[in-house]
Structures are given as C-alpha cells and as structure tokens.
Amino acid sequence: MPDLKDMTPGEILTEASVSDFIKALGVSIADAQRALDENSVEQIAHFVQPRDGLGGRSLMDLGLSPSFYHYQHADVAVALQISLKQIEETSIGLNLGVKVDTGSTSNDSSNSSSSSSETGSSTSTSHRQAEVKIAMKSEGALKVGGQDYQLQGTDPRARIADLRQRLAGSQSSGIERSLATHECAPVNPSVTPASEKVVTTPNTVTFLGGGTYSAAIIRISANPGVAETYTLRSGTSVDVEPAADVAAYAGKVSAAIKGLGYDTFIVGGPKRKLQEVFHEFDQEEFDHDPAYKSWQNPSLQNLAGWLKKTGHAITLEGMTDTSGPPPYNVKLGTARGAYVHQRMLDYAAPADQMTLLPSKGEQHWRDLGQPDSVKDEDHRIVDMRFKDVTDWFVVVRGDDAHPIVKAEVKPDQLANPASGANGFVHVYRPQGGTLTGSSRKVSASGQDFPLRGTGAGGQAEHAPESYAINLAADINANAAAKLKAWVNGATVHLCPEGAEWTLTLLTSESREIQLSGTDDVTVTTQFSRTQSQSITQTKTGTTTVAVGVTLDVRYSKQYETNVTGNSSIAARIVAVPAPPEFLATIKEYLS
C-alpha cells in the first residue's frame, strides 16, 4: 500500500477493497439459501415415514408436506469511514548567557566594552493654584501672606478688576496671574414698551445703536467673466477685474475697497474662518483695552445682525497663548469663549445658530509647533468659524469720513443674504435716538427702573453707553431689588447680590503663601505646598559584557489513518410448497 500521507481520500477508498467486501456479503446470502433448501429436503424423510399412531400412515399420506423457503429479495448496505490525521510540531529552544565584569577588560573580539562619566543637576518648580469665592455684594478684604487687599470700586466688576490689578502689580503678594468667573441665577429683566434697540437675556440688558461705526459684508461666490463695479455710496465706487479664481477675486475686491479709505478683511472660504476676537494678556474679557473695545463690540454687533438675517450657523472656541500651565489656560480659554458667546447673545444673535466648543486652552497652538511659555497676542483669541458656508466674504468697516449707505450699495444682494451672486448682503450703520419718549422702563426682581439718557461716563446724551451706565447705577442704588449690576460697553450685567465671583490665583514662587478673607471673601482652596526636586548624579566606571547564544530547532511530523466499515442486509423470505411431481418422485424413491 502506498504512503498514506501522499494519498487522497479516493485513493484510500480504492485501497480499502470495497468490492471484495460487497462480494463476500453476496456469497453469504447464497450460502444461506442453500442451507434452507438442504434443511427442507432433510425434512421429507420424516414426512414419508409410517407412524403407528396414524395406523401405519405417514404425514404425507395425510396431505402434509415440508415447506421450502426462498429469498424473494435482499438489500445489501455497505458503509466505510476513513479518517486521516496529520500532526506537525516545531519546537525552538533559545539559551542566552550573559556575563558582566566591572572594572576589567578583555581581548575577546566578541565582547564589547564602554566607559562613561556623567555629572549634572536639575531643579523644577511647578505652578500652584488657589481659589477664592467673593460675593457680589462684598466689600471685604483678601489677605495674602499677611497683607490685606481691600476690595475697592463702585460695582462688583470694578472691585474684582481692581483687586486683580493690585495682586499682579505687587511683588510681595507672589500672585502672578488671576482669572475671575461668575455664575448668576437668571434675573430675566424685561423692557416696557419693547424696542428693537434694547435686547434682554436672562442676565443682561443691552442698548444697541449709536457711534460712528458702519460696516458691510460683501459675498464673493464666483469669479466673474467681466469686471464688476462695487459702490459703497454715491460717488464712491471701484471697478474690479476678474482674477485667476474665486479666492483671488475676493482678495482683489478687498484691496480695491481698502484703496478707497475703508478697512477690509476677508473671511469664509474652505476653512470657514469668520472672525478672531482678540484679548489682552490674562483677560477673559476684551473690554479692558479701549483699542479692542472700540471696534470689536461694533464688529460683533454687525455679525449678530447678519447671522439673524441669513440663518448661517457658527462655532466659537476660546484659546490662549502658551504662557502659563495648561489647566489654567483651559479655564481661561473657556471663560473667553463664554464671554464672546454672551456678547453675541447681547446683540440678538440667535442662540440656536451658535455652538460654543469646549476650549483646549493653548493646545491648538502646541499642536502647530508653538513652543511653551510664549506670550503671543495673536494667539489670545476666540476663534469664530462658519459651520455651513464656504463662500468668500469681504467685511468692510467705515466711519464718518467713509460711510456706507445702505440704499446706494451695488451690487445689491441685500434681498438674498443667504446665497446668490456677488454683492452686498448686509449693511450695518448704528442709528442713535432717544429711548425715553415713551416712558420706557426696565423691570427686574419686582422693581421698575425708568430709562435715563442723561450723558454719563463721558458719553453723549442718549448714547447707548449712557443708558447702560445710568441703569446700572439705579439698580445698585435700589436695596429692595437685591441685585448687583455692572457695565461692559452698552451692556448691563445683572446678578443676585448673593451670587459669587470665583477668583483663581496662580503663582510659581516656591515660598509658602497663606490666604484668608473677611466679609464674604472665602478661601476655598489654599496654594498647595511647594514641590521642588534637586538631583545630582555622578557616574564613572568601565563595564565588560560577554554574551553567548545557542539556538535549538526541532521539527516532527506524525500521520494516523483509521479505516472502519459496517454493513447491513435486509432480506425477505417466503415459504413455497414443494412441486407435486417432486414429492411423488421422492415418495416413490423412499418406498
């Protein structure tokens, strides 16, 4: 028989002699038939023998005869089971020997030796944070390292701003940076009678209009085949020739209008960039800097009106530069994003069209390769982007000397602000005017506060800022309202007097700084203890290493074959009488 490992199942079946197996079964059936016939013949002698009990007659004389049996049919079933099992096994053994000698050398070419000498030291000190709660109504003091810092100012925001400035400016305090945030229960002020120039949110009242700022937004959706004329007012126009593509054409429109004396910048496009709102160092609000405040508030007011007209959706994300520890910067970035988001709500931007993204602090710039501990004004921003628009837009800003007249702009696409051809899609120009002619008032906490347009804080009479300053003063003077108010631009912020500021303090000094407070100034988290580490290490020596390796590989293969079979026979046997002639002949023969 051939080697089983080289045979197929069919070849194994052939070698198993199935035909011989079936032949043996058939012969056994024939042998059985012959045995039955011989048995019947042997019975005849008993049937023809005379019996005394029968009067000398035989069974055959009585009509009886032996039966003959015959296989009417037979079914033969044969089954074979063949199993072939193959087992392969590979084993690998690895032996590794290492010998290390210190202070010795060897001439063995398979050895390696090295000699080193290292001396150095390092010192690291981490930033530490503390947290203080200060009630809106508090006029108490914060004690830092034994020195009192009394709260000073006419309103809660002024007191917090003054405290932060004095802490940062004092070397003895050890406080390098601070962050102020607050959460207020809704006050829900209302205005009666209502006016589109007064916007309320749960904790703010904002007065719109005023100022010399004017703005427009021009959509650039295509690179035209011929030159287009852009008119900002009668007598102030510029022709712009086609460019290589849409982006280049938007750049040409921006440059051409800037040449007329207007300020312009480009937004939108594939990156969907809308605007960057800049902040001072370590500030969550931008209103502290007059340079930022003078144009960013009107710019946001312009964008809010545009969003309301078009239905465009945007995202906002607060960011910081890489100076300061990352956890602190995440808090600062979060506060910046929340502040700009609230400013957009103050200017009546629809809340469902804005998504405030979680701040990652400095991480955006670190991912772009910016090194740590770098102060960069361009990175202290709230990044605003479109969610659903990829057109290019040219934002135009004017002033009294360079106004933008809504009724005279061309190409005029003001009726199609959401989508369409190139042209002006939004024009904003503040409109001043009185708000006191209808006995208009603001109601909050069950108290009414009539609006007063008297000039205040160096602002003109009936200026939005004057209305805001007067309203905040009236609220703070009304003890029954139990509210505290402060002003950002032309927005009045309202909080219950029991609400609190959360002041986060940051230091990198190693000395211990103990904090305490009085009159609703509560220290909730002290600075952690100083953590510093100094390591000095000196190492000299010579090391010799000998390595030996052995590898043992073994391979084995086993084959196992089982062939088993079974059979079954189903047969039908019938009894038939012997032929009369046969019986007569037998009877005569036996007689």
Cα distances from 468 to residues 215, 485, 496, in angstroms, run 23, 10, 18
| Helix (H) or strand (E) run with residue 33 in it | helix 18-48
Whether 76 and 223 share a structural domain: no
Q: Is residue 127 very low, low, confident or very high in pLDDT (cuts 50, 70, 90)?
A: confident
Whether 339 and 213 share a structural domain: yes
Cα distances from 417 to residues 42, 178, 218, 221, 396, in angstroms, run 121, 43, 10, 12, 16
pLDDT tens digits for range 194-233: 998 999 999 999 998 766 678 999 999 999 999 999 999 9
Question: Among 120-134, 466-480, 497-511, where is mean pLDDT lowest?
Answer: 120-134
Whether 277 and 398 share a structural domain: yes
Between 157 and 61, name the one with better pLDDT: 157
Residue 403 CA to residue 232 CA, distance in Å, equals 8
Whether 218 and 364 share a structural domain: yes
pLDDT at residue number 45: 76
Hey, which bits of 151-262 come out as E strands?
177-183, 190-192, 198-201, 204-207, 214-220, 228-233, 236-240
On whether residue 319 sits in a domain, the answer given is: yes
Whether 69 and 209 share a structural domain: no
Whether 241 and 383 share a structural domain: yes
- Segments forming the whole domain that contains residue 415: 191-428
pTM: 0.67
Q: Residue 465 forms beta bridges with which residues?
A: none
On whether residue 42 sits in a domain, the answer given is: yes
Mean of pLDDT over the chain: 83
Q: Is residue 368 very low, low, confident or very high in pLDDT (cuts 50, 70, 90)?
A: very high
**Of 400, 428, 456, which residue sits at a domain end?**
428
Q: Which residue's entry shows tokens 């969003």? A: 307
Q: Is residue 66 very low, low, confident or very high in pLDDT (cuts 50, 70, 90)?
A: confident
Contact between 548 and 213 (Cβ < 8 Å): no
Number of domains into which the chain is organized: 2
Per-residue pLDDT at 186 exceeds 60: yes
On whether residue 344 sits in a domain, the answer given is: yes
What CATH code is carried by the domain that includes residue 337? 3.30.1330.60
On whether residue 214 sits in a domain, the answer given is: yes
On whether residue 173 sits in a domain, the answer given is: no
**Of 387, 408, 428, which residue sits at a domain end?**
428
pLDDT at residue number 56: 78
- Cβ neighbours around 104 below 10 Å, total: 10
| Helix (H) or strand (E) run with residue 585 in it | helix 580-590
pLDDT at residue number 113: 40
**Of 359, 394, 428, which residue sits at a domain end?**
428
pLDDT at residue number 117: 35
pLDDT tens digits for range 439-449: 899 999 999 99
On whether residue 71 sits in a domain, the answer given is: yes
On whether residue 573 sits in a domain, the answer given is: yes
Per-residue pLDDT at 185 exceeds 90: yes
pLDDT tens digits for range 484-534: 999 988 999 999 999 999 999 999 888 899 999 999 999 999 988 654 444
pLDDT tens digits for range 553-589: 666 666 566 666 677 777 777 777 777 777 777 777 7
On whether residue 584 sits in a domain, the answer given is: yes
Structure tokens belonging to residue 297: 């508030």
Instruction: Choose from 108-122, 174-188, 273-287 the range with maximum mean pLDDT.
Output: 174-188
Between 411 and 40, name the one with better pLDDT: 411
